[in-house]
């Protein structure tokens, strides 16, 4: 099973993301990765194998960004490989996505996006999500994610990180677990509460069909149609 961790706050994100992923190692995985918004770009680091390989890839001079997402992957669509590891990004490298579950209609969506000029680099269903957010984005990340949720079919938990809206994470779930950790000026998202217990014992468990926008100031939960 795959694992998801996200963070926004005043601490450096990468150590928190890696620590959270370590708490999810028991779920099994074949690759891992993190993405952060660093100044004017999204920086993605990935590795095959154990988290030690990701830590080696990150080195000691990693980004000091205070917002990011992380993932451990167990291959479903696409073999275990560097390019198939999460997070996945869009053509313009403005949106990064981590995802658990299966997007059932990803092939037809991928075909449509390719016809529009989108270029894919992986064999995964998850990469479709990043390109869909890019395709739907018209200045509002929440609205773009709402449109994605109306378009896809399947079971999933997903988190979106955006260079266009660098001060928020947007997460949603359908049939796959997702929790939000509530801290003091910092917030967490994860696929399993064990990933964030080091930092907070206060959590909100997303229900099926719920989306959450997470900023340093708090969280806003809506249904997939945007109703509070």
Q: What is the pLDDT of residue 86?
A: 85
Q: What is the pLDDT of residue 191?
A: 96
User: What DSSP string runs through 14-80?
Assistant: HHHHHHHHHHTGGG--SEEEEEEEETTEEEEEEEESSHHHHHHHH-SS----SEEEEEEE--SSS-S
Q: What is the pLDDT of residue 35?
A: 98
Q: What is the pLDDT of residue 83?
A: 84
Q: What is the pLDDT of residue 210?
A: 98
Query: Could you tell me the mean pLDDT of each successive run of 10 residues in the chain, 228 residues long?
Result: 92 98 85 94 93 94 96 65 87 97 96 97 95 97 96 97 97 97 96 96 97 97 92
Indicate the SS3 state at residue 200: coil
Q: What is the pLDDT of residue 56?
A: 94
pTM: 0.95
Q: What is the pLDDT of residue 75?
A: 56
């Amino acid at each position: 099973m795959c694992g998801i961790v996200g963070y926004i706050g005043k601490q450096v994100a990468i150590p928190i993301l890696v620590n959270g992923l370590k708490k999810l190692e028991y779920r099994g995985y074949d690759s891992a990765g993190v993405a952060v918004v660093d100044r004017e770009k999204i920086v993605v680091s990935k590795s095959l194998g154990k988290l030690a390989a990701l830590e080696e890839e990150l080195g000691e001079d990693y980004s000091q960004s205070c917002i990011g997402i992380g993932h451990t992957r167990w291959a479903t669509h696409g073999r275990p490989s560097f390019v198939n590891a999460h997070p996945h990004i869009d053509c313009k490298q403005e949106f990064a996505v981590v995802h658990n579950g299966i997007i059932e209609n990803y092939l037809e969506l991928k075909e449509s996006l390719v016809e529009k000029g989108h270029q894919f680099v992986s064999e995964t269903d998850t990469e479709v999500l990043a390109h869909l957010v890019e395709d739907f984005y018209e200045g509002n990340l929440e609205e773009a994610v709402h449109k994605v949720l109306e378009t896809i079919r399947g079971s999933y938990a997903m988190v979106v990180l955006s260079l266009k809206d660098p001060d928020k994470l947007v997460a949603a779930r359908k049939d796959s677990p997702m929790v939000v950790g509530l801290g003091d000026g910092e917030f967490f998202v994860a696929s399993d509460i064990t990933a964030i217990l080091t930092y907070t014992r206060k959590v909100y468990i997303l229900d099926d069909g719920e989306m959450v926008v997470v900023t340093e100031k708090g969280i806003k939960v809506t249904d997939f149609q945007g109703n509070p």
